[in-house]
Amino acid sequence: MATIDTHIPADVQHGDHEHDHEHEHHGNFWTNYIFSQDHKVIAKQFLITGMAWALIGGTLSVIFRLQLGFPDANLEWLRPLLGGWITDQGKIDTEFYLALVTMHGTIMVFFVLTAGLSGTFSNFLIPLQVGARDMASGFMNMLSYWFFFLSSAVMFTSFFISTGPASGGWTAYPPLSALPQAMDGSGLGMTLWLVAMALFIVSTLLGGINYITTVINMRTQGMSFTRLPLTIWAFFFTAIIGLLSFPVLFGAALLLIFDRSFGTSFYLSDIFIGGEALPHVGGSPILFQHLFWFLGHPEVYIVLLPALGITSEIIATNSRKPIFGYKAMVGSMLFIAILSFVVWAHHMFVTGMNPFLGSIFTLLTLIIAVPSAVKIFNYVTTLWQGNIRFTSAMLFSIGLVSFFLTGGITGLFLGNSAVDIQLHDTYFVVAHFHLVMGSASFFGMIAGIYHWFPKMFGRMMDERLGSIHFWVTFLGVYFVFFPMHYIGIAGFPRRYYSWTNFETFSSFADLNMLVSIAAIITLSAQFIFLFNFFYSIFRGKLAPANPWGATTLEWTTPRHPKHGNWPGEIPHVYRWPYDYSKPGAKEDYIPQTIPYSETPESNLPHENELIKLEMEGTGAIVVDEKKH
C-alpha cells in the first residue's frame, strides 16, 4: 500500500500536512469553481449541466407530445419559441417533429443519463467512498468536464441553424443521416451532431480512465475490493464498459463523416435520390447499425448500472439492513457487463441481418434477463424485515426498482426474435426502454441527488417537497409509459407525426391525450425539484455529519470537505460497508472506519480473527508515512 500516495497530484499530497488549509485558500474564483481540478466541484459542474440538459430534453418531449396528444390543437403560441418550425396552420413542422424526437433521445441518453449521471456520481463518490484525496488525474478530470461542455455547446448550437438540428433519430442510421438530400436535418445539423458526439466520447473516455485508475490504485488502507460499496462497483463496471464501447461509436461516427464529406462508401450503396443515382456502391447501412449498437447496447448499462449502484446503497441504508447478497450483486453486475457486449444485434432482428445471427442473439439476450432478475430479487429481499425509512432518496429508489421490474420484464418479448417481429419499432419498444432505462436511471439519479445533497452542499433538501416530487413523478411516469404498451401491442409505429393516415392506427386518440397530459404534469413536477434544489443550496437546514446514519467513508469528512477531502490522515477501513443492524451492536450501523477490535460485542466469529490483521495493518501505514 506504500504506492498509494505516490499517485496523488503534488498539490493534493500536501493534504497530509498542516499547511494544506492555507494552500486551499490561495485558489482564485477561476481555479476553484470554473477550471477546478477538485472532483467534488467537477461533479457539481456535471450535475448542473446535466440538469439543464434534462430540462431541455424534457421540454422537447412535451412539445412533441402536444402534437401526438392534441393533433388538432393550434400551436401558434409556440411561435415565439420555435419560430418557423411552426407552420402557417399552427402545427409543428413534420420534419421538426423528427428533430425533436432525435434531440430528445440524444440529449437524454448521452447528455443527461451518461454525463449527468456517471459524470456526477462517479466523480463525486469514487474518491470519497474509496478514501482518496482526489481522482488519479485531476487535470484529466477537468478536461473531461470541459470536453463535455464543448460538446454541449456544439449540440446546443445546432438548435439555432436554419436547417435545424439532426433529425434522423438518435441512432443516426445512414443513409438518412448521411444524405443532406434526404432531409434538412442531415445537413449542417448532422455535422454538428457528429462533432458533438466525437467531443462527448473524448470526455467520456477521459472520465472513464480516471474512474478505473482511481478505483484500482487509490483505495485507502483496508479498502479491499470486497469492501467496496456497491456504488463503486457499479461505477467501476460502467467505466470499463464505456472505455471498451465508446471508441467503437467514435469509429462509426468517423466513417459516417467520411461518407458524408469525403465521398467514401462505407455505409452507402445503390442509392437513387433527388432524381439522380449516387456514385456510392459496395457499402452497407447494416454495418453502421452493428457498430452503433455495439456501443448502443452497452450504453443501456452505462446508463443503468450507476443508477442500480446508487439504489443498492440507498436501499440498504434506509432499510437499515445489509444489502442482500453482496457477492451476487457484484457478480450479476459483472455478468451483465460482460453480456452487454454480446447482445447488441437484438436491436436488429428485422433489419435484414442473417437470421442465424438472430437466433444467437435471442439466446444471449434472454440470458441477460437472469442476472437482472437476481438483482430485483435481491432488492426486494433487502426490504424484507428491514426498518424502512421513506426518505425522498429511498422513495425514488423504490420507484427505480418498480420501473426496473415493469420495464425490464417486457424485454422478454422484445429479446425473443420471433415475437419481436411484430413489436419492433412500435410503441411497445418505446414503453419498454423508457421505463427500464430512461425512467429507472433518471430515478436513480434523482435518488442520488437527494441522498448525497447534504455531502455536496452541506445542507439538507426539503423532505416534504421531495415527497410531493416523488409521488407526482412516480405516478406521472407510469401514466406516460404504461399505456404505451397497449398502443404498441395494437401495432402503432414509433416516430409517427400522426396516425390518421392509417385506419389500423387511427383509434386511441384518447389514450394519447392521457399520455400527453401525464407528460406535461410530470415535467411540471420537476420544477418543484429544481426549486427545492436551488433553495436548499442556500437556505436548507444545515446538514449533520452523517444525516442518514450511513456506514460509508464520505460521511467521515467535514461538512464542507476541502480539496483533499479529509483534513488529517485518510481514514482506514476495517469492514464492509453494510454492517447495518448487526446483532449485538449498540447503534443500528457501524461505519467502515470502526475496527473489529472496538466492536467485540457484535463481531461474527471469523471477524474476531481479523482483529489481529487490523493491528498489523496500522503498523504498516506508519512505516509508509515515514518514507515520505
Partner 1 sequence: MMSLIIGIGVALIVVILYLIFRIGNLVSLVKDEKAATQSRNRTHAFLLMAFMILSLIGFYYWSYVHFDEYVLPVASEHGAITDHLFWITMAICVIAFTLIFIVMFWFTYAYQYEEGRKAAFFADNHKLEILWTLIPAVVMALLIFRGLRAWTDITGPASKEAEVIELVAQQFAWTARYPGKDTELGKIDFRLIDASNEFGLDLTDEKSYDDFKSQTLHLPAGKEVLLKIRAKDVLHSVFLPHFRVKMDAVPGMQTQFKFRPMKTTAQMREETGNPNFNYEMACTEICGKGHFSMRFPVVVEDEETYNKWKAAQEAWLKQNPDYYDKYVPKEKKESAMIKSGMSPDNGSLKQVELKTVSVN
Q: Which stretch binds partner 1 (CB under 8 A): 144-152, 200-208, 253-261, 483-491?
A: 483-491
List, in sequence order, every residue forming a beta bridge with 273; answer none if it has no partner: 276
- C-alpha–C-alpha distance, residues 49 and 44, integer Å: 8
Q: Under DSSP, is residue 381 helix (H, G, I), strand (E, B) or coil? A: helix
C-alpha grid cell, residue 505 = 392506427
Does 173 participate in binding partner 1 (rule CB under 8 A)? yes
Which position among 398, 437, 447, 515 is part of the footprint of partner 1 (CB under 8 A)?
A: 398
Residue among 46 and 578 whose Cβ is closer to partner 1: 578
Q: Which stretch binds partner 1 (CB under 8 A): 203-211, 306-314, 496-504, 512-520?
A: 496-504
Give min distance, CB of 169 to partner 1, in A. Answer: 5
Label residues 247-279 b or e (16+ Cβ within 10 Å = b): ebbbebbebbbebbeeebbbbbeebeeeeeebe
Does 258 participate in binding partner 1 (rule CB under 8 A)? no
# of chain residues touching partner 1 (CB under 8 A): 117
Residues 6+ apart with CB under 8 A from 598: none
Other CB atoms within 10 Å distance of the CB of residue 239: 27
Q: Which stretch binds partner 1 (CB under 8 A): 56-64, 170-178, 304-312, 613-621?
A: 170-178
135, 38 contact by CB (below 8 A): no
Residues 434-463 that bind partner 1 (CB under 8 A): 462-463
C-alpha grid cell, residue 175 = 443513409
Residue among 247 and 325 whose Cβ is closer to partner 1: 325
484, 427 contact by CB (below 8 A): yes
Which position among 412, 613, 615, 623 is part of the footprint of partner 1 (CB under 8 A)?
A: 412
Does 89 participate in binding partner 1 (rule CB under 8 A)? no
Give min distance, CB of 422 to partner 1, in A. Answer: 5
Give min distance, CB of 552 to partner 1, in A. Answer: 16
Q: Under DSSP, is residue 195 helix (H, G, I), strand (E, B) or coil? A: helix
Residue among 149 and 486 whose Cβ is closer to partner 1: 486
Residues 279-338 that bind partner 1 (CB under 8 A): 281-286, 319-328
Complete DSSP assignment for 255-294: HHHHHHHS---SS--S-EETTEE-S--S--HHHHHHHHHH
How do strand 276-277 and strand 272-273 relate by DSSP bridges? antiparallel
Which position among 146, 149, 341, 482 is part of the footprint of partner 1 (CB under 8 A)?
A: 482
Cα atoms found within 13 Å of the Cα of residue 143, Cβ hemisphere only: 15
Q: Which stretch binds partner 1 (CB under 8 A): 20-28, 84-92, 339-347, 497-505?
A: 497-505
Cα 276–chain centre separation: 44
214, 257 contact by CB (below 8 A): no
Does 341 participate in binding partner 1 (rule CB under 8 A)? no
Residue among 169 and 458 whose Cβ is closer to partner 1: 169
Does 131 participate in binding partner 1 (rule CB under 8 A)? no
Residue among 55 and 489 whose Cβ is closer to partner 1: 489
Query: Could you say which DSSP state residue 542 is in?
Result: B
Which position among 55, 465, 537, 621 is part of the footprint of partner 1 (CB under 8 A)?
A: 465
With CA atoms as reference, report the closest residue to 302 among 406, 204, 403.
Answer: 204
Give min distance, CB of 408 to partner 1, in A. Answer: 10
Does 388 participate in binding partner 1 (rule CB under 8 A)? yes
Which position among 73, 216, 338, 418 is part of the footprint of partner 1 (CB under 8 A)?
A: 418
C-alpha grid cell, residue 323 = 444489502
Does 350 participate in binding partner 1 (rule CB under 8 A)? yes
Which position among 583, 605, 616, 626 is part of the footprint of partner 1 (CB under 8 A)?
A: 583
Q: Under DSSP, is residue 580 helix (H, G, I), strand (E, B) or coil? A: strand
- C-alpha–C-alpha distance, residues 376 and 380, integer Å: 6
Give min distance, CB of 13 to partner 1, in A. Answer: 37
Which position among 406, 512, 522, 536 is part of the footprint of partner 1 (CB under 8 A)?
A: 406
User: Please, is 579 exposed, middle or buried when counting C-beta atoms within 10 Å of its C-beta (0-12, 13-18, 19+)?
Assistant: buried
- C-alpha–C-alpha distance, residues 390 and 386, integer Å: 12
Does 73 participate in binding partner 1 (rule CB under 8 A)? no
Does 401 participate in binding partner 1 (rule CB under 8 A)? yes
| Look-up of cell digits 443550496 | 537
Q: Which stretch binds partner 1 (CB under 8 A): 31-39, 421-429, 434-442, 550-558?
A: 421-429
With CA atoms as reference, report the closest residue to 172 among 289, 46, 17.
Answer: 289
Does 384 participate in binding partner 1 (rule CB under 8 A)? yes
Does 377 participate in binding partner 1 (rule CB under 8 A)? yes
315, 126 contact by CB (below 8 A): no
Which position among 162, 503, 616, 626 is part of the footprint of partner 1 (CB under 8 A)?
A: 503
Residue among 142 and 518 whose Cβ is closer to partner 1: 518
